[in-house]
Structure 1
Amino acid sequence: MFHQSGGCCDGSAPMCFPRGEFRVGGQDVLLGHIAGDVPVWIGAAQFEYWRHTQVTVDVVPGRGAGMSLESPEGMRFIVRSRVFTDEENAALEAAGEPLRGA
């Protein structure tokens, strides 16, 4: 699973954890899934800042965060983003609030 926070350790880089090794909090927001079954969560404060933005998790050569799965692999995860169009924002508003963590 991925968790995107505004954290201290590696700025706001997405962190990748084996399933079951990171516990999402009640304020975390589910952004979606990668490859169908890998959940991507974001902290509530970051979600409010990015809620009108499409977030894409990408991988590039470089040193990953120390706690993230990719750290020893010579690769790192990054986030690319773009602002949603007015039409996309309207569709998201019509869909209602996203799922929050337990």
Structure 2
Amino acid sequence: MTENPVAEPRVIATEAALDFLAEIRQDHPDILFHQSGGCCDGSSPMCYPASEYRVGETDVKLGEIGGVPFYISGSQYEVWKHTQLIIDVVPGRGGMFSLDNGRERRFLTRSRVFGSNEVMCSIPTLPRP
């Protein structure tokens, strides 16, 4: 009997990240993540109050971590679509506008390339400009 392969999530979090996320949600229950594409805050996963961040038309929802939606820009998704993002926590300062700022810890994105034998969770095809 052949088992059906299980689709691997495109974004996951370490236990430390989930614990830190729960701490932040005590102060800000309705939040979302957006993977920064560089610029001022490097390539950090940014955590925002959901009511204060507008998800763009070409942003891609990779999944959820700890019940919190996780987005990435469409152009960045095209570069990272063969990887699984692993959200972790390290000592340091978060991005200037991210909710992890000022807590002496920050979220960090690690990644791994999906293996050829893995089935990735599907993401809708992005519209072409």
TM-score by length of 1: 0.84
Sort the Cα spacing of 1:78 and 1:96 in 2 relative to 1 into closer, same or farther, 3 A: closer
Match of 2:39 in 1: 8
Match of 2:97 in 1: 67
Sort the Cα spacing of 1:99 and 1:31 in 2 relative to 1 into closer, same or farther, 3 A: farther
Match of 1:54 in 2: 84
Q: Deviations over 1:70-97 (max 9, x none)?
A: 1010111110100001122xx338x452
Unpaired runs of 5+ in structure 1?
none
Match of 2:124 in 1: 97
The 5 Å alignment of 1:15-94 reads 15-35=46-66, 37-88=67-118, 91-92=119-120
The two structures, once aligned, show a CA RMSD in angstroms of 2.0
Equivalent position amino acid for 1:32 in 2: G
Unpaired runs of 5+ in structure 2?
1-31
Equivalent position amino acid for 2:72 in 1: I
Q: Structure 1 runs of 4+ off > 3 angstroms?
A: none
Match of 2:22 in 1: none
Q: How many residue pairs align between the two structures?
A: 96
Greater Rg over alpha carbons, structure: 2
Q: Please report how far the alpha carbon of residue 41 of structure 1 lies from its aligned counterpart in structure 2 after TM superposition.
A: 0.1
Q: Which moved more, 1:6-15 or 1:26-35?
A: 6-15
